[in-house]
Structure 1
Amino acid sequence: MIMPMLGLKGSSARQQIDDRLQYHPQVYEFYTNAADFTPDGIAHLDNAVQYVQSKGIKHIVIHHPMVYKQWHSEVVAPESSYPDLYRFIEESTAALLKIADRRNIQILVHGGYSGDEVEEMIAHYSSLHDARQAVYKRLDRFAKEGGNHIMFENSIARVFAYGDPEQEDEILSHHYRLAFDTSHCFIEMHGDNQALQKSLEHLKSSVVHYHLVDSMGLTHDSLQLGTGKIDWASVLKRLNPDATSIYEINLHDQENCKEQVASHRYLTAIAKQIQQGD
Structure 2
Amino acid sequence: MRKGIRLKGGIDDKSFENRLKYDPEIVELYLTEQDMERTPLIRERIRAMNRRGIGAYMHHPSRYRGAYLDIGSEDPRMRTFYRESTAELLKICEEEGARCVIHAHYVGMGCASADREATIALREEIRSIPGFDSGLLLWEDSTEGLFCYSNPYLIDDLIVPLNLPLNVDVSHTFIGFRGDNDKLCEVLERTAPYARYYHLVDSMGERHDSLPLGEGRIDWVRVKPYVEAKDFIFEINLTGDHTDCSPMVDSAAFFATIGS
TM-score by length of 2: 0.91
Q: Counterparts of 1:237 and 1:143 in 2: how far apart (Å)?
A: 33
8 Å Cα contact 2:7-2:28 kept in structure 1: yes
Kindly indicate whether the alpha-carbon contact (under 8 Å) linking 2:116 and 2:153 is maintained by their aligned counterparts in 1: no
Structure 1 residues 65, 245: CA separation in 2 closer, same or farther (over 3 Å shift)? same
Aligned residue in 2 for 1:96: 89
Structure 2 unmatched runs, 5+: none
> What are the equivalent positions in structure 2 for 1:157-168 lying under 5 Å apart?
157-163=144-150, 166-168=153-155
For the Cα contact (< 8 Å) 1:247–1:263, is it kept in 2? yes
Contact kept? 2:133, 2:165, Cα under 8 Å: no
| Aligned residue runs from structure 1 range 143-182, under 5 A | 144=131, 147-163=134-150, 166-170=153-157, 171-182=159-170
> 1:211 and 1:145 mapped to 2: Cα distance?
20
Q: Is 1:268 matched up with 2:256?
A: yes
**2: distance between equivalents of 1:141 and 1:240?**
32
Deviation at 1:145, TM superposition (A): 5.5
Q: Match for 2:53: what amino acid?
A: G
Q: CA deviation at 1:205?
A: 1.7
**Residues 180, 194 of structure 1: alpha-carbon distance in 2 compared, 3 angstrom cutoff:** same
Per the normalisation by structure 1, the TM-score is 0.86
The answer (yes or no) to whether the contact 1:154–1:179 under 8 Å persists in 2 is: yes
The range that moved more, 47-56 or 163-172, is: 163-172
C-alpha distance in 1, partners of 2:49/2:192?
Answer: 28
Name the one with the larger helix percent: 1
Deviations along 1:119-170, one digit per CA (max 9) or x if unpaired, are 5xx78xx984443223211222336366121110111232111245543222
Counterpart CA distance in 2 for 1:127 and 1:231 is 27
- Taking the aligned partners of 2:94 and 2:133, their CA distance within structure 1 comes to 8
Equivalences for 1:84-233 in 2 at 5 Å? 84-115=77-108, 118-119=109-110, 128-142=115-129, 144=131, 147-163=134-150, 166-170=153-157, 171-233=159-221
CA distance in 1, matches of 2:192, 2:27: 22
- Give the residue type in structure 2 aligned to 1:8: L
Note if contact 2:138-2:165 (Cα within 8 Å) is conserved in structure 1. yes
Q: Could you tell me how far apart the structure 2 residues matched to 1:32 and 1:210 are?
A: 18
| Mapped contact 1:143–1:176 kept (Cα < 8 A) | no
**Which one is further off, 247-256 or 257-266?**
247-256
Query: 1:43 aligned to 2:40?
Result: yes
| Aligned partner of residue 101 in structure 1, secondary structure | helix
Query: Closer, same or farther in 2 for the Cα pair 1:143/1:94, shift >3 Å?
Result: closer
After the TM superposition, which segments of 4 or more aligned residues of structure 1 sit over 3 Å from their partners? 126-131, 143-146, 163-166
Map residues 73-88 of structure 1 onto 2, 5 A cutoff: 73-77=69-73, 81-88=74-81
Structure 2 residue aligned with 1:11? 10
User: Deviation string for 1:102-129 (max 9, x for gaps)?
Assistant: 01210111122114xx35xx78xx9844
Moved more, 130-139 or 15-24: 130-139
Paired residues of 1:140 and 1:174 also in contact (CA < 8 A)? yes
Query: Secondary structure at 1:237's aligned position in 2?
Result: helix
Q: Retained in 2: the 8 A contact 1:29–1:63? A: yes
* Root mean square deviation, CA, Å: 2.0
Give the Cα–Cα distance (whole angstroms) in 1 for the partners of residues 42 and 9 of structure 2.
12
Deviations 1:211-243 (A, max 9, x none): 0010110111111111111011010022262x2
Write out per-residue CA displacement over residues 248-276 of structure 1, whole angstroms, 9 at most, x where no aligned residue. Answer: 1101241110100011101101132xxxx
Aligned to 1:147, what secondary structure does the other structure show? coil
In structure 1, stretches of 5+ residues that fail to align are 273-278
Q: Secondary structure of 1:152's partner?
A: strand
Change beyond 3 A, Cα 1:143–1:25 = farther
Aligned length: 256
